[in-house]
Homo-oligomer: A and B are copies of this chain.
């Protein structure tokens, strides 16, 4: 693996990991009142567009990291829509 790809993947792993505390808290407490729907939609759309952008410029770290992040954020968005 070349070092540029390596840096991109580490970057992606770290920013994806940084989403985990929110996801774990939300899953544990089944409590989404302190999360705004606008925030959920903003970050969901942003990460979704990073995935699209990753595919358009054919960039592996962008695609991989943001696809995983998108799954994590989808869980929060789903719980927010379910619990309000």
Binding site for B on A (CB under 8 A): 4, 7-8, 10-18, 21, 36, 39, 42-43, 45-50, 52-53, 56-57, 59, 61-62
Is B4's CB under 8 angstroms from A49's CB?
A: no
Residues of B within 8 A of A56 (CB): 4, 7-8
**Number of chain copies forming the complex:** 2
Distance A26 CA – B54 CA, assembled complex (angstroms): 32
Nearest CB in chain B: distance from A68 CB, A: 13
The listed residue (B12, B16, B53, B62) touching A4 by CB distance below 8 A is B53
A14 to chain B, nearest CB (A): 3
- Contact, CB under 8 Å: A46 / B18: yes
A8–B45 touching, CB < 8 Å: no
Could you tell me the distance between the alpha carbons of A18 and B19 in the complex, rounded to whole angstroms? 12
